[in-house]
Structure 1
Amino acid sequence: MNRTAKIILGIALFLVVGLIIAGNYFYAYAVIPTKKDFIATRSEKKSTQLSDAENWFKNNHRTWRLTSKDGLKLAAYYLPAKTTQHKTVIIAHGYMGQATDMPQYAKIYHDLGYNVLMPDARGHGKSEGDYIGFGWPERKDYLQWINQIIEKDSHAEIVLHGVSMGGATVMMTSGEKLPNNVKAFVEDCGYSSVTAELSYQLKQLFNLPAFPLVPVTSLITKIRAGYFWGEADAIKQLKKNHRPMLFIHGDKDDFVPYSMLAEVYHATKGPKERYVVHGAKHAGSLTKDPNMYQEKVAHFVQQYVP
């Protein structure tokens, strides 16, 4: 091997090693469930409405559990309706959140007469897991939660409502083979795909292009967590969905860009509605306009679960 070939080989090896190091760093940054410094913490004073919902949640829930197909012990909180009802909603929380963040959403449905199930996603809250699935492996977990509801009530009528990563989880679940008990979906500010969202975040946070770091980190995710980012595609799943879905997004969202709303809305094959909350940032639609949010959700789900 001549000197030039050795230099080229050395540079190539250096680049490969550098990409592997960078890919593992970005994997840890995005996929391992630890405290994320790029997620803003909310320190504003809680509204009376939120405090009331939190108190209601604390005083009324009980815990459900299941073991996922890949052996993780998962937890969820169940809040029964005031009177015996067949209507149940499953509420999906966001990235690095947990079910206990979602009492305001749960209360909307409880006031409509629903039982409420609020799972902790794998790697979050009280559920086991050492990686974040961004909704892709979670869609299979949600099939198990759906089946657990039906095992307890064969006449259950089920709605899924998710926010942020939970919204993506709901959309990804919609493309699975679901029992007829599942009647409708509500997704709030979910992303079109994991590749698109993390490419956007890579640009926003580090001003780096998607290639080659995103494909490399996706491969690392496949090795370490069992899925490629390219598999986790809400648009592909929505194209298989024929059930009703309400899409919600704030037009000032700069975490999951507002432009993704049009992509996911046009992808689904079922009945659909779109609700844009003007001035709302990421996952802020309910806080921005709580009365209209509740009205829109109630009107939508009552069309399919009277």
Structure 2
Amino acid sequence: MRTIKINWKKLLFLLTTVFLIIQIVGSFFFYELAVKRGPKEYLQGNADLKVADETMDLYLNGDWKKWVSVQKFETLHLSSRDGLKLTGYYLPAARPTNKVVVLTHGYLGNAKQMGLFGQYYHNELGYNIFMPDARGHGKSEGDYYGFGWPERLDVIDWTNMLVQKLGPSTEVAYHGLSMGAATVLMASGEEELPRQVKAIIADSPYQSVYQLFTYQMNRMFHLPAFPLLDSTSALTKVRAGYSFREASALKQVKKTSVPVFYIHGMNDTFVPTEMAGELEENTSSETEIFLVPKANHGEAYALAGDTYKLKVGHFLDRYMK
């Protein structure tokens, strides 16, 4: 009987080569899937994003949409630190005030979708409102999505522009949804955060991009995070300038002095409720948390509108003097 002799060195080299090819191909695939700017068909029909009929009706047919369409927004432009032209929309309050809210939208959204909240701030609270298109979204330049990390510096620069426009006595609130919530939390820990930022509302945030993608890879593709997520993160560092692990709201809120009000749906399966709980537990400033029963991702305002507004208003009254 003939004995088959195995060349272990060649076999090891072959396996290593195949492994590296899989990692490289997989990294480009997931970068294109999630990070590169463009439509994301894989999210269409995603059960984790299913919302109640009343929520969908509010999103599609709410009177806020007509309100947004008739407002005379002032279009503002900002050059980001890395050379992108960013766009945002400013609307002064009906009566002069030193209070302004910066409303930051979610992944694949755009600035004027935050008119859902802007109508409340403008009409009921009497705030000036500002809604920026995040890089890679709406009218802003950018060929990738930053999931809050590069956007945190954009928000700080927008804030400085607003303070210069409205005066040094301006008081600023941040109100972000999903990726927008992570964005303002990531901004909150920066030493250069303007002193005028007095309060943060974080609706449906995640702790870090790495933790979010770890959860999503397992839930959507039944894949472990390591090593594919790490190689995708390395590619993202090269192509977009940030890594998934450094993009951490959790690390930032451990350094913040700005009070934070966390809001999350208790039935959120896209960004699990536990993520808001971990953020709240680790925030170094004063915090409150509002968990909304039966609400899926970003659905809290639709299902608990009056209570939502009441709690947000009370929170802001404590810190916006």
From 7, 13, 17, the equivalent of 1:13 is: 17
CA distance in 2, matches of 1:49, 1:85: 31
Structure 1 position 49, deviation (Å): 10
State whether structure 2 residue 64 is matched by structure 1 residue 53: yes
Aligned residue in 2 for 1:97: 109
Query: Residue 173 of structure 1 aligns to which amino acid in structure 2?
Result: A
Structure 1 position 59, deviation (Å): 1.6
Aligned residue in 2 for 1:151: 164
State whether residues 156 and 194 of structure 2, in contact with CA within 8 Å, keep that contact through their aligned partners in structure 1: no
Query: Residue 229 of structure 1 aligns to which amino acid in structure 2?
Result: F
From 36, 39, 58, the equivalent of 1:35 is: 39
From 247, 268, 288, the equivalent of 1:253 is: 268
From 115, 122, 130, the equivalent of 2:135 is: 122
Structure 1 position 10, deviation (Å): 1.3
Aligned residue in 1 for 2:182: 168
SS in 2 for 1:296: helix
Query: Residue 187 of structure 1 aligns to which amino acid in structure 2?
Result: A
**Percentage of matched positions with identical amino acids:** 42
CA distance in 2, matches of 1:103, 1:257: 25
Is the radius of gyration larger for structure 1 or structure 2? 2
TM-score normalised according to structure 1 size: 0.96
Larger relative contact order, structure 1 or 2 (CA cutoff 8 Å, min sep 6): 2
State whether residues 246 and 274 of structure 1, in contact with CA within 8 Å, keep that contact through their aligned partners in structure 2: yes
- Deviation string 1:28-63 (CA, Å, 9 cap, x unpaired) is 111012111233478956349963212222222221
CA distance in 1, matches of 2:311, 2:188: 20
Query: Residue 289 of structure 1 aligns to which amino acid in structure 2?
Result: A
CA distance in 2, matches of 1:158, 1:202: 36
TM-score normalised according to structure 2 size: 0.92
CA distance in 2, matches of 1:97, 1:197: 18
Query: Residue 106 of structure 1 aligns to which amino acid in structure 2?
Result: G
State whether residues 58 and 302 of structure 2, in contact with CA within 8 Å, keep that contact through their aligned partners in structure 1: no
SS in 2 for 1:46: helix
State whether residues 252 and 281 of structure 1, in contact with CA within 8 Å, keep that contact through their aligned partners in structure 2: yes
Structure 1 position 79, deviation (Å): 1.2
SS in 2 for 1:197: helix
State whether residues 174 and 201 of structure 2, in contact with CA within 8 Å, keep that contact through their aligned partners in structure 1: yes
Query: Residue 280 of structure 2 aligns to which amino acid in structure 1?
Result: Y
CA distance in 2, matches of 1:183, 1:150: 13
SS in 2 for 1:230: coil
Aligned residue in 2 for 1:218: 233
Query: Residue 163 of structure 1 aligns to which amino acid in structure 2?
Result: L
Query: Residue 244 of structure 1 aligns to which amino acid in structure 2?
Result: P
CA distance in 1, matches of 2:87, 2:239: 23
| CA-based RMSD | 1.7
Aligned residue in 1 for 2:285: 270
Query: Which 5+ residue runs of structure 2 have no aligned equivalent?
Result: 1-5
Query: Which 5+ residue runs of structure 1 have no aligned equivalent?
Result: none
Aligned residue in 1 for 2:3: none
CA distance in 1, matches of 2:161, 2:61: 29
Q: Which moved more, 1:68-77 or 1:99-108?
A: 99-108
Runs of 4+ in 1 over 6 A off after TM superposition: none
State whether residues 136 and 144 of structure 2, in contact with CA within 8 Å, keep that contact through their aligned partners in structure 1: yes
SS in 2 for 1:35: coil
State whether structure 2 residue 85 is matched by structure 1 residue 81: no
CA distance in 2, matches of 1:270, 1:38: 38
Change (3 A) 1:11 1:49: closer
Aligned residue in 2 for 1:66: 78
> How many residues of Structure 1 are paired with residues of Structure 2 in the alignment?
305
CA distance in 2, matches of 1:279, 1:115: 32
